[in-house]
Each structure stands twice: as structure tokens, then as C-alpha cells.
Amino acid sequence: MNKLLKNVFKKTLFALVLASVAVACAQTPEESEVKASLEKNMGDGTKVDAVSKTSYAGLYEVQSGGNIFYTDGKGDYVIIGQVIDTKTRKNLTRERLESLSKITFSELPFDAALKKVKGDGSRVIAVFSDPNCGYCKRLEENLKSLDNVTIYTFMYNILSPDSAKKSRDIWCAKNRNAAWENWMLKGKVPGAASAKCTDPGKQVFDLGRKLKVDGTPTIYFTDGTRVAGAIDAKMFEEKFAKGK
């Protein structure tokens, strides 16, 4: 084996060793025992994706289907709710969920979204919104007061079959943004789409399911974090400032 191949072999072996260590450290034997005990005790088919010991109150964090709950060191009890640090006022559960749901923002398929640029467009967000969602309509009102922002809207049809029809009609309109705003802000029904027009409805639906977006509106920021609900302009500004 020549010198070059030896070096490549050593680097590859080292990488594999590191990878195996990382996997081994992903969950301790104690955490694995809690996971097994919890699944046995619950006995209702609940799938536990991961268990990890927290740094507070001796609790273990349990990840299941994109959600978080807590258990004791034996998996005998389950605590469902949010953990708040009384000293810092931080919502530790929410911060953890944000961390777990982070995405690589630049990898979103932006060509499957409506795009609106306001001002210099320097601040960018992506919104998953259903055209029949009342909170989404409220969010559209809140977005009116934001400036210097680029808004990508993924029409995520999860509320009714009519949502898919409205989204297709909006996507196929001559002016998509106008059709969207006319419907969401004024209740003006978009014209029927041409039979020849295709829309990215299925692609967006599959994407939302992959990202575990289970409600609308859901907003993603460029740092990969997401927020659910019709947040107001103040919360947007706080998120933009935090993401810098």
C-alpha cells in the first residue's frame, strides 16, 4: 500500500471511529433503559423516538412523533406540559422544540412558493399557510405592517379538499400574489384555474409532512427555527433581531 493510500485509509478509519463514538454517545445505557421501560409501561403503541436526561429536576426528555414530554428515571410516570425556568423566565420546552425542528432554510423549494418582496427584501421568512385557515388570514394582516422583508408562502392544504382547489386557482392566476391577498384579506374568490395549469400542491403537502408541520400558519426563519401561529409584528421584529 503506497503512502497516499495509507493516509486515506487512516483518515477513513479515524472518521469511522468518530462516527461510531458519536452514535454510542447519542443515548446512554441509562437512557436506553428508561426508553424501554417507558414503552413497556405505556403499552398503547406510543412510539418513543429518543430519551435524554435533562439538566433540571431529574427529568428525562422523551421525543415522540415530533412532540416532547417528560418522565422520571424509571419510566413510571409521564409529565405532559411545558417546563419554565422561573429564574430566567425561559420556556425550556419551547426552546427545545425549536431546536429539534430546525431546518436548513436555504434547502426549501422556493420555486413551489408564492414570493412577495417588500422594501429591500433583506429579511426572509417562509410561511406554510392554508387558504381556509382563519389564523393564516390574521397573519396576513400582521404581515402588512412589516417592511424590508421577503415572504415565501407555501400553500399547505390540510384543512379541506376546497383548500387544494383554492390554492390551485391562486397559483394559476395571472397575478398569484394579488389573487392570494384578495382572498386572504378581502374574501375575493379567485377565478377557476385552467385545466392545463399544474400547481405544486402535492410537493408542498409532502414537504410539510416531512417537516412535521401539523398546523397553519407555521413560519420559518433563516436561522432554521420555526414559530407556529399568527404572531404579531413585535414578535417578528424580535425574531429577526435574534437571528442576526
* 92-107 average pLDDT score: 88
pLDDT in tens, 101-150: 889 999 999 999 999 999 999 999 999 999 999 999 999 999 999 999 99
Q: Which domains does the chain have, with CATH numbers?
A: 33-100 (3.10.450.70), 105-242 (3.40.30.10)
CA distance between the termini of the chain: 50
Q: What is the pLDDT of residue 244?
A: 67
- Residue 145 is which amino acid? S
Distance between alpha carbon 163 and the CA centroid of its chain, in Å? 21
Instruction: Report whether 130 contacts 156 (CB < 8 A).
Output: yes
Adjacent-strand bridge partners of 126: 152, 220
Q: Which of 9-13, 45-49, 126-130, 223-227 has the highest mean pLDDT?
A: 126-130
Q: What is the pLDDT of residue 25?
A: 43
Q: How far apart are CA 204 and CA 155, in angstroms?
A: 7
* 158-183 average pLDDT score: 97
How do beta strands 60-64 and 50-53 pair? antiparallel
Res 70 pLDDT > 90: yes
Q: Which of residues 67 and 26 earns the better pLDDT score? A: 67
Q: What is the pLDDT of residue 18?
A: 35
Instruction: Report whether 189 contacts 195 (CB < 8 A).
Output: no
Cell of 227: 414559530
Residue 27 pLDDT grade (very low, low, confident, very high; cuts 50, 70, 90): confident
Q: What is the pLDDT of residue 45?
A: 75
Crossing angle for the helix pair 176-186 and 161-171, nearest 10 degrees? Answer: 140
- What does the CA dihedral 79, 85, 89, 92 come to, rounded to 10 degrees? -60
Instruction: Report whether 171 contacts 155 (CB < 8 A).
Output: yes
Tell me the backbone φ, ψ of residue 108, rounded to 5 degrees: -65, 145
pTM of the entire structure? 0.73
Cell of 190: 379567485
Q: What is the pLDDT of residue 10?
A: 41
pLDDT in tens, 210-226: 998 999 999 999 999 99
Q: How far apart are CA 111 and CA 109, in angstroms?
A: 5
Q: What is the pLDDT of residue 96?
A: 87
Q: What is the pLDDT of residue 185?
A: 97
Q: What is the pLDDT of residue 22?
A: 38
Q: How far apart are CA 241 and CA 129, in angstroms?
A: 24
Res 47 pLDDT > 50: yes
Q: What is the pLDDT of residue 26?
A: 64
Kindly report each contact of residues 225-230 with a partner whose C-beta sits within 8 Å and lies 24 or more positions away, as own/partner: 225/98, 225/99, 225/101, 225/102, 226/98, 226/101, 226/102, 226/103, 227/98, 229/135, 229/139, 230/135, 230/136, 230/138, 230/139, 230/142
Res 1 pLDDT > 50: no
Cell of 195: 385545466
* 53-70 average pLDDT score: 90
Q: What is the pLDDT of residue 8?
A: 37
Q: How far apart are CA 102 and CA 222, in angstroms?
A: 10
Mean pLDDT of the chain: 87
